[in-house]
Amino acid sequence: MTRGAAGQGIRFVKPSVLPGFGLALGFTLTYMGLIVLLPLAALVLKTASLGWGEIWAIITEARVLAALRLSFGTAFIAAALNAVFGLLVAWVLVRYRFPGRRLFDAVVDLPFALPTAVAGIALTALYAPNGWIGKLLEPLGLKVAYTPLGIVIALTFIGLPFVVRTVQPVLEDLDRETEEASATLGARRHQTLARVVLPTLLPALLTGFALAFARAVGEYGSVIFIAGNIPYVSEIAPLLIAIKLEEFDYAGATAIATAMLALSFTILLVLNLIQAYGRRRYGHD
């Protein structure tokens, strides 16, 4: 119970299910500090000890720039593919009933559970020139394994569940009467999809895209086998960091890691701002 402003009388506050706001907030801040903020702060402080000139020289090396372009470019493409086809998968799972639907629904989560190295080996075996799919694509002049295309496939594989599991509950809660009302008012199917369904799903879709993108940028295990790891061609930034560490070049590794952290944070911040705008624009706050 609290006393409000003059003339407003006494206002009753709904009690929280967690006992003690101060204790819960303190635990939250401590946990976040130890698990998230402290390691990131150590990374930034280690990098800051180099000096801006040395940091700039490291992150603008041609090999580093090529690796960063490859990591962020392939992660963006994979997340975009998952945004499209993940939405389609979620739509089928929610809107249709068919034999094996529950099994299909469970399979979506396999990339979460499967060790990434195992996924990388399986994908390489499939798409290598002598693999089941690779040997069919080889005569067409399409090489997947040991190229950036193979990296996109690996990142798409590990990012799919993020989009499906983010969009699926929103789609289940979507009121079908709104779609029926749209159809009653004369809207065609594509108009209902573009003006009724997609705006409602947009915030969840952006969230899934951001999660898939963030997961893909730092992916290592599923990529190193199918990428081929050729400098300037198929060498991702996380692998370059691992190489720097094996060479005891800790300064170079932390500088590249900090650059990745800054780029990832900036991109995710922009996506969050777009998502917040979408929520306000379409009234989902």
Q: Is 158:108 a contact under the CB 8 Å cutoff?
A: no
3 φ, ψ (degrees, to nearest 5): -100, 125
What's the predicted TM-score (pTM) here? Answer: 0.84
Rounded-to-integer distance, Cα 103 and Cα 88, Å: 17
pLDDT of residue 14: 62
Dump the DSSP string for the chain. Answer: -EE-STTS-EEPPPPPSSS-HHHHHHHHHHHHIIIIIHHHHHHHHHHHTT-HHHHHHHHTSHHHHHHHHHHHHHHHHHHHHHHHHHHHHHHHHHH---TTHHHHHHHTTHHHHS-HHHHHHHHHHHHSTTSTTHHHHGGGT---TTSHHHHHHHHHHHHHHHHHHHHHHHHHHS-HHHHHHHHHTT--HHHHIIIIIHHHHHHHHHHHHHHHHHHHHT--HHHHHHH---TTTT--HHHHHHHHHHTT-HHHHHHHHHHHHHHHHHHHHHHHHHHHHHHHHTT--
Model pLDDT, residue 92: 94
Residue 105 burial (CB < 10 Å; 0-12/13-18/19+)?
Answer: middle
- Give the pLDDT of residue 50: 82
The reported pLDDT for the residue numbered 7 is 47
d(CA 88, CA 97): 15
Residue 18 is predicted with a pLDDT of: 66
CB 268 within 8 A of CB 209: no
* pLDDT of amino acid 13: 56
Looking at residue 171, its amino acid is L
Q: Are 155 and 223 in contact (CB under 8 A)?
A: yes
Residues 6+ apart with CB under 8 A from 217: 71, 72, 75, 260, 264
Query: How many CB atoms are located within 10 Å of the residue 16 CB?
Result: 9
User: What are the structure tokens assigned to 45, written together?
Assistant: 């402080």
How many other C-beta atoms can be found within 10 angstroms of the C-beta atom of residue 243? 18
Beta bridge mates, 2: 11
| pLDDT tens for the 285 residues of the chain, in order | 444 444 455 555 566 666 677 888 888 899 999 998 998 888 888 888 888 888 889 999 999 999 999 999 999 999 999 999 999 999 999 989 999 999 999 999 998 888 888 988 999 999 998 889 998 998 888 899 999 999 999 999 999 999 999 999 998 888 777 777 877 877 788 788 888 888 888 888 988 999 999 999 988 888 988 888 889 999 999 999 999 999 998 888 999 999 999 998 898 888 888 878 877 776 555
Tokens of 236: 């991702």
Dihedral angle over CA of 114, 115, 119, 125, nearest 10: -120
- Residue 109: count of CB within 10 angstroms of its CB: 13
pLDDT confidence of residue 6: 46
pLDDT of 273:
85
